[in-house]
């Protein structure tokens, strides 16, 4: 059994003591991208709307590149999606001045091309408004009233906007790899891997700041010196070069947590990342839930939307503990939500 390197970050709401099974089958976790724009019908890039089932985003991108006869860098997508799920997302392929092949010939159990069109721009990471989730939690054990009490609070106030475990790799391994990379103990040549490790370290510091606010009873409250985002939500630091732009009590708390990991903060600064901010709360839009009884077992189906870069697991962890099946995946690239 692998020991996790992840801290036991606190929850915002009472522990329900409930448990359930997650992702027993791929369609227990359904995700649909909410795009910033739709293809206009003309341009140098072919846009594909694809449903994938049990495959990760990078694997699909590699198949598309091979079929189009282009480099993998010519394939764009807005975000990485979970492998063990059914997800719908957009891909773009740079194909100027040539007729696009029929990508639907690639359709199989892992991917289905839903539509194919052209557009003037490449899809880049972050080019989406958010994601819609439909999640089935199976064989729920626990008091329904306690779970629904937390659901009602989440609907009204949101959840702590933690980075999910996907960001940190299996057992939190990306944290140790990132630490070793920043310390010069290992050399990482792959730019994609380097980015993943830097993101894991940055996310660790953010989660630690958020956790401290929860422990101090300051989550969901405005702290003196807070910096708000465009939605008016208080934010925490995504570490990098430059001074923290918070002040007063918020600055003191953020500086204290950062001081606990000086070598990590220094490494992020020397890696060229700049100070940014991220909302401390995630507000699930159109949150609804439905209980289902079948053959003596109870399932809970959740539907909601989250902004880009926010994690559905942050909602689930405030409701119950979940267990996923052990899997041996066909493709070796790790998916990140």
**The CATH number of the domain where 179 resides is what?**
3.30.2340.10
User: Residue 2: inside a domain, yes or no?
Assistant: no
Distance CA 238, CA 4 (A): 23
Question: What CATH number has the domain bearing residue 63?
Answer: 3.30.2350.20
Distance CA 45, CA 41 (A): 10
Residue 331 has pLDDT above 50, yes or no: no
Q: How many domains does the chain have?
A: 2
What Rg do the C-alpha atoms of the chain give, in angstroms?
A: 21
Mean per-residue pLDDT, 252-272:
95
Mean per-residue pLDDT, 189-214:
95
User: Residue 181: inside a domain, yes or no?
Assistant: yes
Q: Tell which of 91, 108, 129 closes a domain.
A: 129
Residue 1 has pLDDT above 80, yes or no: no
**Model confidence band, residue 131 (pLDDT cutoffs 50, 70, 90):** very high
User: Residue 267: inside a domain, yes or no?
Assistant: yes
**Model confidence band, residue 3 (pLDDT cutoffs 50, 70, 90):** low
Examine the domain organization and report whether 213 and 261 are in the same domain: yes
**In the chain, which ranges are continuous DSSP H helix?**
57-68, 144-157, 173-182, 191-215, 248-259, 262-270, 313-316
**In 9-117, which ranges are continuous DSSP H helix?**
57-68
Beta-bridge mates of residue 119: 45
pLDDT at position 188, please? 94
Mean per-residue pLDDT, 224-251:
95
User: Residue 313: inside a domain, yes or no?
Assistant: no
User: Residue 144: inside a domain, yes or no?
Assistant: no
Mean pLDDT over each residue of the chain, to the nearest integer: 93
Active-site amino acid positions:
82
Examine the domain organization and report whether 118 and 179 are in the same domain: no
> Residue 278: how many CB atoms within 10 A of its CB?
20
Examine the domain organization and report whether 219 and 111 are in the same domain: no
pLDDT at position 258, please? 96
Examine the domain organization and report whether 188 and 239 are in the same domain: yes
Rounded to 5 degrees, what angle do the CA atoms 222, 224, 227 make? 70
Q: Could you tell me the residue range of the domain that residue 81 belongs to? A: 27-129
Examine the domain organization and report whether 166 and 272 are in the same domain: yes
User: Residue 300: inside a domain, yes or no?
Assistant: no
User: Residue 100: inside a domain, yes or no?
Assistant: yes
Distance CA 150, CA 15 (A): 9
User: Residue 290: inside a domain, yes or no?
Assistant: no
Strand duo 276-279 + 75-77: pairing: unpaired
Contacts of 229 (CB under 8 A, 6+ apart): 235, 277, 279
Examine the domain organization and report whether 163 and 246 are in the same domain: yes
Examine the domain organization and report whether 168 and 267 are in the same domain: yes
Examine the domain organization and report whether 226 and 120 are in the same domain: no
Residues 154-186 pLDDT 10s = 999 999 999 998 899 888 999 999 999 999 999
Q: Tell which of 282, 312, 327 closes a domain.
A: 282
Examine the domain organization and report whether 114 and 169 are in the same domain: no
Examine the domain organization and report whether 108 and 164 are in the same domain: no
Check: pTM over 0.95? Answer yes or no.
no
């Amino acid at each position: 059994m692998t020991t996790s390197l992840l801290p036991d970050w606190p929850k915002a709401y009472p522990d329900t003591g409930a448990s359930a099974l997650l992702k027993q089958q791929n369609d227990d976790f359904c995700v649909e991208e909410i795009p910033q724009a739709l293809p206009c019908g003309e341009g140098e890039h072919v846009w594909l709307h694809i449903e994938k089932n049990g495959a990760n985003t990078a694997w699909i991108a590699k198949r598309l590149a091979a079929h189009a006869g282009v480099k993998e860098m010519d394939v764009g997508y807005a975000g990485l999606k979970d492998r063990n799920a059914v997800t719908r997302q957009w891909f773009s392929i740079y194909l100027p001045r040539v007729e696009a092949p029929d990508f639907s010939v690639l359709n199989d159990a892992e991917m289905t091309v839903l539509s194919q069109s052209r557009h003037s721009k490449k899809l880049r990471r972050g080019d989406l408004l958010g994601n819609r989730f439909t999640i089935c939690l199976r064989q729920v054990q626990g008091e329904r009233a306690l779970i629904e009490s937390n659901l009602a609070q989440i609907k009204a106030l949101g959840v702590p906007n933690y980075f999910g475990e996907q960001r940190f790799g299996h057992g939190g391994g990306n944290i140790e790899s990132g630490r070793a990379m920043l310390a010069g103990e290992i050399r990482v040549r792959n730019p994609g891997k380097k980015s993943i490790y830097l993101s894991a370290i940055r996310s660790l510091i953010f989660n630690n700041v958020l956790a401290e606010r929860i422990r101090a009873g300051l989550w969901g409250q405005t702290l003196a010196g807070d910096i708000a985002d465009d939605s008016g939500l208080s934010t925490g630091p995504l570490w990098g070069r430059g001074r923290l732009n918070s002040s007063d009590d918020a600055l003191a708390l953020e500086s204290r947590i950062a001081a606990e990991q000086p070598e990590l903060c220094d490494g992020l600064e020397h890696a060229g990342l700049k100070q940014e901010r991220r909302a401390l709360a995630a507000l699930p839009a159109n949150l609804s839930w439905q209980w289902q009884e079948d053959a003596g077992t109870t399932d809970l189906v959740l539907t909601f939307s989250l902004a880009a870069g926010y994690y559905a697991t942050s909602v689930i962890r405030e409701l119950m503990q979940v267990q996923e099946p052990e899997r041996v995946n066909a493709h070796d690239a790790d998916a990140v939500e």
